[in-house]
Amino acid sequence: MSTTMSAESSAAVSGAVIRTVIQTQGLSKRFGKTDALTGVGIEVPAGAIYALVGANGAGKTTLIKLLMNILEPSAGSAWVLGIDARRLRGKGLARIGYVSENQEFPEWMTVEGMLEYLRPFYPTWDRALEAQLMRQFDLPAGRKLKQLSRGQRMKAAMASALAFRPQLLVLDEPFAGLDPLVRDELMEGLLDRAPETTIFLSSHDLAEIESFSSHVGFLQQGRLLFSEEMGVLSERFREVTVILESLGAGSGLAGENLSPSWLQYEATDSMVRFVESACRGAETRAELESKFPGARTIEMEPMPLRAIFLAIAKEKRGKPTSQHQGAVRLAADGDSLRPGSGAPGEGSGI
Amino acid sequence: MKQALHIFAKDALHLWPEILVSLVITGLFSCTYRYTWMADLAPGIPKLQYMQKLAEIVAGFVPLSWWILITRVVHAESLVGDRQWWITRPYEWSQLLGAKLLFLAAFVLLPFFAAQCVLLEEAGFRWFEYLPGLGLNLVLVFGILVGPLLALAAVTSGFGKMTLTLLGALVVVILIGVLGAWKDTGGMASYGDDAGGAASFLLVLVCCGAAIVVQYARRMSWMSRLLLFSVLAPFAAAVSLDSLPKLIAMAYPRTKGSVLVVFDPQGGHSPATDADNGRVGVSVPLVMSGVVDGTAVRVDGVRATFESQDGRTWTSPWLPIYGPMHLPESSKAGLPLQVDRKFFDHARSKPVNVYLKLAVTTLKAGVDRRVVLTGQDFSVPGVGICSWNPTTQTMFDTTEVTCLSPMREPDFTFVSVQLNESSCTDDDARDEVPGAGTVGGAMGELSPAPAEFGITSVWSRSVWLNDFGTDVERSGRILHPPPLLCPGTPVHFTRYTLMNRSEVDVTLPQFQLPEFERFTILRKR
């Protein structure tokens, strides 16, 4: 890749407009004999709110630490704001805000002291915005960080990461363990800044990110299953229920008759149910009608993010329902479906 | 620089209690350390002895307070781990390192410098006359103490881990020392090692510096730890490979035309005594000839091979000799050797052949300064401010001249005097008697450096000028009061410089090992 650094990333270095804020290729990290991350390739366009989701231990934090040059990759490359992540330090970090659930803060500092200390590090620090964030998050200026609750601490961290109007905000599980009120406050503060900032956040709470993310990537056991725009993803997945006219009309569907894009295929004598991962609207409906000529009804329901992930996760773990014989091709290393790349349903990914 | 100052200000504000404690300890050190030499100058005063102990304890706390301060300031931006908040902030590593160095300069080195100046003034020296020495001592203190502590703190993540690592490093150093002692390589290590000392210092400086820079620039903790602890490898290798004989051979090359050393059959036969490591101490009387005028010879060490009648041999390690200087006119001395107890018991009944290798330093006499003692302090160039306390010889039978030297050991100086026979009269002027015996002793180092590593800027050194002579009977009992040093007696301070070092081989054929006897000194007044 640097091979492979894109033109727009290169442009970023010279101060031109950045179109791809984060780009990784074949990014891998090994801890001893354990592969924490394997061949991850993502692209995050400028202005996106990219949610990296996955279960605990999926590799989200590792990926973020690689992007932030906290860890060194074992293989592959990552570019952040046009800078090779391995060289991301010093001034390069003045455009990036980072908040993590498990950061170690200077506990002895007061909230005000911390912000005051950080101010000179950032040429773009906005004191008016700092004051606004203090009010918005209702932060106790004179209290030491060690005396703050977890929620207050996260708000203080968020304020310190937003006050310099970063071009990129990287958040590692920012809402984990917070009560709903604090979570809403944080999210509100975050969304206020969204128009001027690209946000890359990790979470294992799907419902939480569904409401505001523009892009989503799904990590499982260190591998990226897909990475694409939320709208495209929602359009692509449908929960299909086929009610059969006569008993047994669909139960014999097997082998080459099963589409590779069908997940969690279940069939009874009177009903077939599966998740279509490459839905193309009317075209898909027509295909289904031809495959199930004896169908009384064919329902294609949109799926919530959570249901989509569960379907993919179960498929990946090799726990398909009993009758499903279909082969499903998951995103291979580095060739996951990127936002805007490839047409859904062309078999380019789940 | 702006960022470095900003970080420095934060650290200073945050760590003010630690800074305060360190400053108080350094202040106490500068106030109390003078008692260490005051007690040397006036022994026997309980209050001074108590204050001397206190001063030594306070001096011990100075590096301890540095250890805490250095650990705390480095760990304020810990370099180990991946959760520290600052690592995703726009810190420039060079600025961060600069801030830490600035902190150490301001709160460790500067107070230490001030304390050194105070000590110099208290001892009677003008501190601004010793700026090169003060500067060099700061460099040495940084390289030997502060730098390694900084490097250790940089590769550890917390105070506990830092302490454990420090203890671990100390254990390794002790193990190397024990291994050295076991192999008997330590005793002679201090001779002929000016280049070795400089190389060791550079090695420590380079390894610590590399570890610090790599850690600050890249936060590669394992690489930095490897670099840091690689400093111990050459020392361990030197000990384990038994390289001291080779080093001594390099420092003391075998050359022709140096002094001649032979067995002195009239030198008397001292009894053998207990020695360390299951050995027996044996003294061999030798005559040294060929010491030309204007020079002196010092035997620094000896290695002896004993060969019994039945062909059995035993070779001692290199052992240091703290014997007298051999001047042209005084060439006899007993050379202390050590022999394995089993070999001693086996070979004692019949004469043995002894093959000696002597590490000999030849010194060239320089300026000779004659000072008439008055009981007042007096200054000797190249040595410092000296004094003689007449009360010590009446109270303790010891006649000594004590000198305070700025920044380092004094220049290598031989102090000699003609002692009075029994009592001092009121005569102020005492002439030297040509041909009469003199007693003397050496002080100082041959190193020309303007400073030596030390927590103090004032070095106190004494020369004992006692001559028990023949008044010591075989049991060690002193039969008569020793000769005295009286006011008005001229004392000579002769400066010596290094001419060369060489190895001298001596063979003692058919040497009869002496009888074994426990030897203790009993004093009789």
- Nearest CA distance, B84 vs chain A (angstrom): 5
Q: Domain check: are B320 and B346 in the same one?
A: yes
Average pLDDT estimate for B274-278: 70
Structural domain includes residue B267: yes
Specify if B520 maps to a domain: no
Say what the pLDDT of residue B452 is.
Answer: 86
- Of B156-165, B286-295, B496-505, the one with minimum mean pLDDT is B286-295
Whether B291 is in a domain gets the answer yes
For residue A100, the chain B residues in CB contact (below 8 A) are: 83
Q: Are B393 and B423 in contact (CB under 8 A)?
A: no
pLDDT at residue A82 is higher than 70: yes
User: A193: part of which helix (H) or strand (E)?
Assistant: helix A180-193
Tell whether A121 is within 8 A of chain B (Cβ): yes
Residue pair B285/B263 in contact (Cβ under 8 Å)? The answer is: yes
Tell me which chain A residues have a C-beta less than 8 angstroms from the C-beta of B14: 106, 108
Helical residues (DSSP H) of B105-191, grouped into ranges: 110-123, 131-141, 147-154, 159-182
pLDDT (mean) for A306-314: 83
Scanning A163-182 for CB atoms below 8 A from B yields 170
* CB within 8 Å: B93 and A108: no
pLDDT band at B55 (very low <50, low <70, confident <90, very high): very high
pLDDT, average across residues A313-324? 56
Given a cut of 70, whether residue B135 has pLDDT beyond it is yes
Closest CB to A103: pick one of B76, B85, B90: B85
Q: Are residues B356 and B435 in the same domain?
A: no
Q: B223 and B107, same structural domain? A: yes
Domain end among B199, B218, B247:
B247
Query: Are B466 and B399 in contact, with CB atoms under 8 Å apart?
Result: yes
* pLDDT, mean of residues A267-283: 88
Domain membership of residue B391 as a residue range = 365-499
**Would residue B348 count as lying in a domain?**
yes
The arithmetic mean of pLDDT across residues B30-34, rounded, is 94
Kindly state the average pLDDT of the residues A112-140: 95
Which pLDDT belongs to residue B322? Answer: 79
For A152, other C-beta atoms within 10 Å of its C-beta total: 18
A125 touches chain B (CB under 8 A): no
Q: Do A104 and B92 touch (CB under 8 A)?
A: no
Q: What is the ipTM of this complex?
A: 0.81
Nearest to A45 by CA among A342, A338, A345: A338
Does the beta carbon of A154 lie under 8 angstroms from any beta carbon of chain B?
no
Q: Is it the case that residue B390 has pLDDT exceeding 80?
A: no
Q: Domain check: are B326 and B342 in the same one?
A: yes
Residue A12: what pLDDT? 44
Evaluate if residue A328 carries a pLDDT over 70: no
B156 occurs within a structural domain: yes
Task: Write the residue in A70, A90, A170 that is nearest to B90 by C-beta.
Answer: A90
CA B340 to the chain's CA centroid: 28
Q: Are residues B388 and B289 in the same domain?
A: no
Q: Which of A66, A71, A95, A117 to mutate to test the interface with B (most CBs of B within 10 A)?
A: A117
Instruction: Name the residue of chain A whose CA is nearest to B4's CA.
Output: A121
Nearest to B14 among A104, A108, A118 (CB): A108
- Mean pLDDT, residues A236-249: 80
Q: Which of B88, B91, B216 should be substituted to probe chain A, the one whose Cβ sees the most A Cβ atoms within 10 Å?
A: B88
Would you state the pLDDT for residue A334?
A: 35
What is the number of structural domains in chain B? Answer: 3
Which residues of B are less than 8 Å from A115 in CB distance?
none
> Taking a C-beta distance cutoff of 8 angstroms, is the pair B486, B174 a contact?
no
Q: Is B523 a member of any domain?
A: no
**Residues B207 and B303 both lie in one domain:** no
How many residues are listed for chain A in this entry?
350
Average pLDDT (A51-71) is 93
Domain boundary residue, one of B212, B247, B282:
B247
Q: Are residues A91 and B90, on separate chains, in Cβ contact within 8 Å?
A: yes
Are residues B209 and B284 located together in one domain of the fold?
no
- Chain A contact for B93 (CB, 8 A cutoff): yes
In this predicted structure, the answer to whether residue A168 has a pLDDT above a threshold of 60 is yes
pLDDT above 50: residue A7: no
B333 & B209 share domain: no
A71–B6 CB contact, under 8 Å: no
Average pLDDT of the residues in B183-193? 55
Check residue A346 and give its pLDDT.
32
From B216, B106, B221, select the one nearest B161 (Cα to Cα).
B221
Residue B425 has pLDDT above 80, yes or no: no
The pTM assigned to this predicted structure is: 0.83
List the single residue in B with minimal CA-CA distance to A89: B90
Say if residue B395 is in the same domain as residue B441: yes
Interface check for B17 against chain A (CB to CB < 8 A): the answer is no
**Interchain CB contact of B82 with A (< 8 Å):** yes
Q: Are strands B279-289 and B260-263 parallel, antiparallel or unpaired?
A: antiparallel
Give pLDDT tens digits for B448-472: 678 888 899 999 988 887 665 444 4
The answer to whether A31 faces chain B, any CB pair under 8 Å, is no
CA distance B82 to B347: 68
Residue in chain A closest to B15 (alpha carbons) equals A108
Cβ–Cβ contact B5 with A under 8 A: no
Same domain for B81 and B157? yes
pLDDT in tens, B75-86: 999 999 999 999
In-domain check, residue B347: yes
Lowest mean pLDDT among A10-19, B348-357, B495-504: A10-19
Domains of chain A: 7-221 (3.40.50.300), 237-350 (no CATH)
Nearest to A105 among B14, B85, B91 (CB): B85
A170 contact residues in B (CB cutoff 8 A): 88
Residues B188 and B170 grouped into a single domain? yes
Lowest pLDDT segment from A87-101, B109-123, B271-285, B409-423: B271-285
Q: Which residue has the higher pLDDT, B399 or B437?
A: B399
CB contacts < 8 Å between A and B, how many?
Answer: 50
Most trustworthy range by pLDDT among A216-220, B332-336, B439-443 = A216-220
Q: Are A28 and A35 in contact (CB under 8 A)?
A: yes
Q: Is residue B524 part of a domain?
A: no
B423 and B453 belong to one structural domain: yes
